[in-house]
Amino acid sequence: MIMNKWEALEYALNNEPDKVPIEFWSDQEFVLHASHWNGFNFRFAHVELKKDKEFIFEIIKYWGYSFQFVDENIKKDGEFVIKAIMCSSSVLKYADKTLRTNKNFTLKVLNLCKSAFEYIDESFKLDKDILVLNKYEDS
């Protein structure tokens, strides 16, 4: 039996991604719908979709945690990560460790998106420069 995209989507929506024919995970429309329903479905997307910056924005505007499944090179792209954080601050949690542990990068992020504070590296949670910037320091 040949399954159409919408029949396959039923499996994705019912948490049965293993029943979805692999070719559907290369289809942007299918992956967008499956990931919109459950951001964890993005983990099954074809590798090329996980490198497509415009498509990634479409996914993370619903579920920032889907960023954990993007291509590793995307997670290292500081400029892109900052734009993604502006879309969903939780993206910071899944950015590459070299970015998350870079104080200048962290300060830049927090200057643009204060709500990202909860996702910064633990080593910065008590840093005076960061606390002053975010006004979390006790008076």
Whole-number Cα distances in Å, 36 to 31, 42, 52, 64: 8, 9, 16, 11
pLDDT along the chain (139 residues), means of 10: 87 93 96 95 97 96 96 98 96 97 96 93 91 60
Q: Identify the CA nearest to 82 among candidates 95, 97, 101, 70.
A: 95
* Per-residue model confidence (pLDDT) at position 139: 38
* Per-residue model confidence (pLDDT) at position 135: 65
* Per-residue model confidence (pLDDT) at position 138: 40
* Per-residue model confidence (pLDDT) at position 110: 95
pTM: 0.88
